Amino acid sequence: MKQRLATSLANRLIPPNSNRRMLFRALRDIAKQPGTLGGRLNIGNFANLLNYRQRVFRCPVCGGMARPLYDFPNLALRHEHKIGVFRETLQCSNCLASMRHRSLAVALLDWINARCTTRLDSISDMAFQGLRGLRILDTDNFSSTSRLLRDSAGYIRCSHIPTTPWGTCLGPNYFNEDLQHLTFADGAFEIVLTSDVMEHVRDCDSAHREIFRVLSPGGAYIFNVPYDMNSEKDLQLVDTSTDEDVYLCEPQIHGDPLTGGILAYRVFGREIIVKLQELGFQVQFLLLQLENNLIIDGDVFIARKPA
């Protein structure tokens, strides 16, 4: 009874899916990492909150009209890694899809609409109409897109749990996979999706080879990663040239729904395009500007396997 009362009071003071709740979470995170205080609670972030909090946009994930939620990103770290301020925030107040996930959704919808001559307007619309026989592998089991599509025939999702054997079925159409050594057959999927995953894969080159293998001819690897388009080379945060990780800067730990925190190995530069092309991919990088969907410099890659 006391727990229910406390939860009810908390929801009144800091309502779910509100900017008040976002500020509370930022304060909670800062308490755990006091060194991030200046990067998160600053004039720039409060100015962004005031500038965007009343905006209304159409979410390409849930399909609803929404207001953005601003979660006070670490501006100092964003500047250091040359990553857009808004890509991880401006979440949809309905489904919590960040701008990064909305960018991925737009690219996915455009690719399917072009291939299948459909007019899907949102991921929710796709879930309602079905995948038109397409087979999709999604490496994000916790995104708004995953929640909407997980009951669709042809949609496979996976997680990375090192303590569980690779290939283990964790639930309906849900598997434990190491992207560096996928257990799926050659040409098993028309689409592979990853969203800010590859920076956490120790050997991303092996993972990209595996993705090329499991894609069917004409299929597409649609993804986004922390990316500095002005840098020719990747920014290595960890030296992985030996079996032991050697940190080249303070370890960058990103939030992770499974473990609470996961190590980032790199920020990608244009080198990623060259390496994907060497594997045989035809690579297109998009920088989306879609006011209706509140997407500002929405970065997304489409790497096609030739037919």
pLDDT computed for residue 253 by the predictor = 73
What integer pLDDT is reported at residue 290 of this predicted model?
97
- Of 70, 101, 79, 103, give the one whose Cα is nearest residue 290: 103
Helical residues (DSSP H) of 82-221, grouped into ranges: 99-116, 123-129, 144-149, 204-214
* pLDDT interval class at 257 (50, 70, 90): low
8: confidence class by pLDDT, cuts 50, 70, 90: low
CA-to-CA dists, residue 72 to 36, 87, 142, 219, 280, angstroms: 11, 12, 21, 37, 39
Domain layout of the chain by residue ranges: 2-92, 100-304
Give CA angle at 104 (98, 105), nearest 5°: 90
Q: Could you give the residue ranges of the DSSP H alpha helices within 203-294?
A: 204-214, 271-279
CA 28 to chain centre: 23
Report the pLDDT averaged over residues 135-146.
Answer: 95
Instruction: For domain 100-304, give the fold.
Output: Rossmann fold (3.40.50)
Q: What is the mean pLDDT of the chain?
A: 92
Q: For residue 13, what is the enclosing H or E element?
A: helix 2-13
Dihedral sign computed on CA atoms, order 26, 29, 31, 34: negative
